[in-house]
Amino acid sequence: MSSAEPKLDRVVAVSEDEASRHENNKPSASFADSLARYRSWCDDVAIAIGEYQTWVEEQGGSDGEQDLRVYELADQLKSERLQVALVGEFSRGKTELLNAIFFSSFKQRLLPTAAGRTTMCPTELHFDESQPASVRLLPIETRKTPTTIAEYKITPVHWTTIHILRPNSAEEVRQAFLEANRTKNVSAWEAQELGLYTPEGGKRPSANTMVEVPAWRHAIINFPHPLLKRGLVVLDTPGLNALGVEPELTLRMLPEAHAVLFVLAADAGVTRSDMEVWNNHVAGARGVNSAGRFVVLNKIDILWDDLQDPKKIDDTLAQQVRETARILNVKPDNIFAVSAQKAMTGRAKSDRSLIERSGIAALEQRIARDVIPAKHEIIRGKVVYEVSGRLRDDCTLLSARATTIDRQLVQLRQLGGRNLDVIQKMVTRMREEKTRYDKELKGFETTRLTLSTQAKALLAPLSLVSLDTLIAESRKEMNDSWTTVGLKRGMDTFFAGTRMRIEEVSRRAESLKHEVEVIYDRLHAQYGFTRLQPARLALLPYVLDFNRLREKAQAFRDSPVTVMTEQHFVVNRFFITLVSQARHIFDECNRSTKGWFQALVTPLYKQLQDHRAAIEGQLDHLRKIHKNMDTLGSQVADLELARTGLGRELALLGGLLERIQRPVG
């Protein structure tokens, strides 16, 4: 490392002053406010879920697996992030765009920008309050291992960390950030082993050939910027070459982003390499539709000319937007003409007219308008849907208990003036009913064991053991060739296997659902149980996830980088990344299916327990009244008190349900 480069073993010394000053010259109020409302909504729903779980535990209804699932959902909301990715070739102004959005209040650029390539490795900007402000760097040598970046993120020992103790010291923060773009010279053999060099004509490079490569494979900047504090995560990617040799970017990071900003330069137009980035890494990054995918036509200030008619400048820019829309086959209103450099300057100097002319606010407002609500709907469709279903079931069960108490109250109030023989007959009848119901419960234990066995069979196709079997089959189809032809065979086997497993789980789930519905119908007819309507197992989100993964895998497999190089390194890493992402989807699908089964049978078990408790309670009341008619009043009072308590519980759950289902304000 040269003397000009920051040393890794030092701590960047800065003061305790927080980054409150960053609130000045902040991005569009619409974007910041929308993100703040979304963060507040996530936090409030997480709190409501926690209060619901506390209620469940107080009621004695705790269940290990269900409790764990609820805590997972609450934690998911607490750690919920809005991810925005910037993609484009080098020299398109991606880094300057980040400076304009995040760091203009420093009055200087914190992320390094210069002519030519600046971003050398994928860089994530986020804020985790449990960690100190820092720059974490993953050495480029980790590319030699089969471990993915996602897996390395949970093993901090492999990372080099530069701590930032005073985030308001612009120069020292800039020096820390600068380290992410460091390069180094290695032998051509070393570069080839890293998958970063392909000799021309396939010739073996000479021993003294040196190649410049990035020093780091991935960078994570933990910085207390207000937007990052509210849950925004930004991914800045290098150009085409880096995207091609790191399949994890294409198969996982970009598809997971809620917004993808494809950055072009107005002075370059849409070049051939821009089209390769668009076709291979961006066009399908947000699935089958264009939601959350925007084109940023940057550097429009090159068209500004004080000696030219402003209308003519606007017409030229409008024509360029239309032409870009035609080439990329997108709607013109998804293209945003901006000048990141002027936005940076305008915010640094508090020049509102320059900020407005830069076009940055329109981009931020569009993200606020489209992306944040879309993210909200995703969370509602997963977390809110699951918790709301459980809450509604508990409300239904409480209502059923209230109805039972109401019937008991009517019965007890009618006992006034009746003789002891009548009450004794009622006691005898209740004892007989309890005996019959106890036999019903014993018989149901067999049914319960059967359902548990079916649940294991339901989850088997989604187990990691099943996935590992599929991976082995896919590798066998590749015949160890590690070429795109072999890869196609392996991919066909892999995705056909995932589809077959999910279809099998859907069939088993439908059969299990029908079986539980039959039990509900019988218990409703015999004992008056509330007839709940079990929900269908919704695996469509995971099917869509696999479809998107297959589309991205096919696009990457057919990309020029893979087809032309036929590198064992690239193809092997591609397959490893594919498997890693599939494991993640399988795991989520397995958890969702397990949660569905618990939600399917738990209300049934609770109703069985509630009915037995109601019979025992009613029998106990009758016994006491038969023993002493003077206790009738106190028995009625006890039931009235219990009924009032149920009313409060229903009101509590109703309020929690309203909070959880409330849209973002």
Phi, psi of 85 (to 5 degrees): -110, 140
Structure tokens at 408: 């008991």
**Between vectors from CA 267 to CA 262 and to CA 273, what angle results, nearest 5°?**
50
More confident: 412 or 366: 366
- Say if CB 148 and CB 248 are below 8 A apart: yes
Of the chain, the percentage scoring pLDDT greater than 90 comes to 16
Which among 38, 76, 89 has a CA at the least distance from the CA of 268? 89
Q: What is the assigned CATH class of domain 19-375?
A: alpha beta
**Between vectors from CA 109 to CA 133 and to CA 114, what angle results, nearest 5°?**
120
Structure tokens at 421: 């023989």
The three-state secondary structure class of 425 is: helix
The answer on pLDDT for 536 being more than 50 is: yes
Beta pairing, strands 82-87 & 183-187: unpaired
The answer on pLDDT for 481 being more than 70 is: no
HSE-up of 81 (CA within 13 Å, CB side)?
17
User: Could you give the CA distance from residue 195 to residue 207 in angstroms, rounded to a whole number?
Assistant: 17
- Say if CB 458 and CB 593 are below 8 A apart: yes
HSE-up of 91 (CA within 13 Å, CB side)?
11
Task: Output the pLDDT for position 289.
Answer: 45
Gyration radius from the chain CA atoms: 31
The three-state secondary structure class of 205 is: coil
The answer on pLDDT for 117 being more than 70 is: no
- Say if CB 359 and CB 337 are below 8 A apart: yes
Place of tokens 């029998």: 619
User: 183 - beta bridge partners?
Assistant: 214
Question: In sequence order, which residues have a C-beta less than 8 Å from that of residue 427 and are 6 or more positions away?
Answer: 619, 622, 623, 626
User: Could you give the CA distance from residue 513 to residue 626 in angstroms, rounded to a whole number?
Assistant: 44
Start-end of H helices in 460-539: 464-478, 484-527
- Say if CB 280 and CB 250 are below 8 A apart: yes
- Write the pLDDT tens digit of every residue in 62-76: 666 677 777 878 888
Task: Output the pLDDT for position 15.
Answer: 35
Per DSSP, 395 falls in state: H
Task: Output the pLDDT for position 563.
Answer: 52
Per DSSP, 124 falls in state: E
User: Could you give the CA distance from residue 365 to residue 360 in angstroms, rounded to a whole number?
Assistant: 9
Which among 343, 358, 250 has a CA at the least distance from the CA of 303? 358
Place of tokens 């960053």: 22
pLDDT band of residue 138 (cuts 50, 70, 90) is very high
Which among 319, 335, 325, 337 has a CA at the least distance from the CA of 266? 337
Place of tokens 């996602």: 150
Domain boundaries, the chain: 19-375, 415-627
Structure tokens at 383: 């977390």
pLDDT band of residue 12 (cuts 50, 70, 90) is very low
CA 635 to chain centre: 52
Task: Output the pLDDT for position 327.
Answer: 94
Rounded to two decimals, the pTM is: 0.72
HSE-up of 119 (CA within 13 Å, CB side)?
31
Task: Output the pLDDT for position 645.
Answer: 92
Amino acid found at 493: T
pLDDT band of residue 561 (cuts 50, 70, 90) is low
pLDDT band of residue 569 (cuts 50, 70, 90) is low
